[in-house]
Amino acid sequence: MKSLEVLETGPLATVQDLGRPGQAALGVGRSGAADAASLRLGNRLLRNDDDSAGIEVTYGGLAVRAHGDLLVALTGARCPATVAGRCVGSNSPVLLPDGAELRLGAPATGLRTYLTVRGGVDVAPVLGSRSTDVLAGLGPEVLAPGSELPVGPCPRRQPTVDLAPVPDPPSGEVQLRVVRGPRADWFTDEAFDRLTAAPYEVTNESDRVGMRLRGAALERVRSEELPSEGMVPGALQVPPTGQPTLFLVDHPVTGGYPVLGVVVTTDLGRAAQVRPGQTIHFKEMR
């Protein structure tokens, strides 16, 4: 059977597909690729099913060895990449011959790179998904050197596209569209304007669960405790410090701090590519 052997992982590498929707009532979140559009693109380039699993690589550093001839693709944050020592490009099907090593450097912009393989990563699904939920501790183990990832059977359809022209994730300031959240009335009248007025910096305390942001403090008018309520990805939850956290794919199913705003769904993949040190400018969408 064909497989990928993990040699090095970089800061974090996990198996991800499109997640496990519909199970929040069990306390199980959706999880899945943080930048789902990039995972989908990789699968499309290889003519895999849309929900085939790939590897989500955070800030490069992955090295894998092929067992069997494989066709792979790299999407999302563009890393310098080599196959058997020769440079290969992103957003394109790449042959990874039996025994060859694929090595990724650190991306110049963006944070999360997807390595997809024709046939998909075929580890055992957990509750219907091959995604690793780092908060819930569900799904495949976080990848480590020595991890052996079986590759599924190739789909019948042949790849037809050599290169997908997609822009790289931006450096510098990133704009995300936001709408007023369910608890906007727990904050002062100025709080939402302040959220959208000046940029927020993404701090190091950021992972698949959420991104802690630093900027103008968002003041509340109601100080009582909020009974826990259902949360959505994109929610800007504001603890008493006034500094918001932007929830990503592994966010908790319920949370106990008020949500001032919610980033629109189509911008969540872009949010997942913003790295610590970059700034986010929230723009109100009406």
Partner 1 sequence: MRVLPCGDAGLLVEVASLEEVLAAYAAFVERPPAGVTEIVPAARTVLLRVDPGTDLAPVAAAVRATTPRPGARPDAGHVEVAVRYDGADLAEVGELTGLGERGVVEAHTSQEWTVAFCGFAPGFGYLVGEDDRLHVPRREDPRTRVPAGALGLAGEFTGVYPRESPGGWQLIGHALDPVWDLRRTPPAVLTAGVRVRFREAR
- Contacting residues toward partner 1, per CB under 8 A: 21-22, 24-28, 126-127, 136-138, 179-183, 227-232, 234-235, 252-254, 259, 262-266
Q: Give the type of residue at 18.
A: L
Residues 6 or more apart whose CB falls under 8 angstroms from that of 125 comprise none
Identify which of residues 63 and 136 has a Cβ nearer to partner 1 in the complex: 136
Identify which of residues 23 and 92 has a Cβ nearer to partner 1 in the complex: 23
Beta carbon of residue 238, minimum distance to partner 1 (angstroms, whole number): 15
Give CA–CA dist 186/203, Å, rounded.
Answer: 25
Identify which of residues 259 and 272 has a Cβ nearer to partner 1 in the complex: 259
Identify which of residues 79 and 178 has a Cβ nearer to partner 1 in the complex: 178
Give CA–CA dist 63/48, Å, rounded.
Answer: 22
Rounded to 5 degrees, φ, ψ at 190 are -80, -15
Identify which of residues 198 and 264 has a Cβ nearer to partner 1 in the complex: 264
Check if the beta carbon of residue 234 is closer than 8 Å to that of residue 153: no
Beta carbon of residue 136, minimum distance to partner 1 (angstroms, whole number): 5
Would you say how long the chain is, in residues?
A: 286
Q: What does the longest C-alpha to C-alpha distance in the chain come to?
A: 62
Beta carbon of residue 228, minimum distance to partner 1 (angstroms, whole number): 5
Beta carbon of residue 22, minimum distance to partner 1 (angstroms, whole number): 6
Q: How many helices (H) and strands (E) does the chain have?
A: 3, 20
Identify which of residues 69 and 141 has a Cβ nearer to partner 1 in the complex: 141
Beta carbon of residue 185, minimum distance to partner 1 (angstroms, whole number): 9
Identify which of residues 10 and 261 has a Cβ nearer to partner 1 in the complex: 261
Q: Reduced to 3 states, what is the DSSP secondary structure of residue 236?
A: strand
Identify which of residues 155 and 182 has a Cβ nearer to partner 1 in the complex: 182
Residues 6 or more apart whose CB falls under 8 angstroms from that of 189 comprise none
Beta carbon of residue 60, minimum distance to partner 1 (angstroms, whole number): 29
Which pair of structure tokens corresponds to residue 173? 């300031």
Check if the beta carbon of residue 197 is closer than 8 Å to that of residue 190: no
Check if the beta carbon of residue 112 is closer than 8 Å to that of residue 273: yes
Strand partners, 206: 211
Strand partners, 211: 206, 246
Which residue matches tokens 């694929």?
A: 102
Beta carbon of residue 181, minimum distance to partner 1 (angstroms, whole number): 7
Beta carbon of residue 29, minimum distance to partner 1 (angstroms, whole number): 8
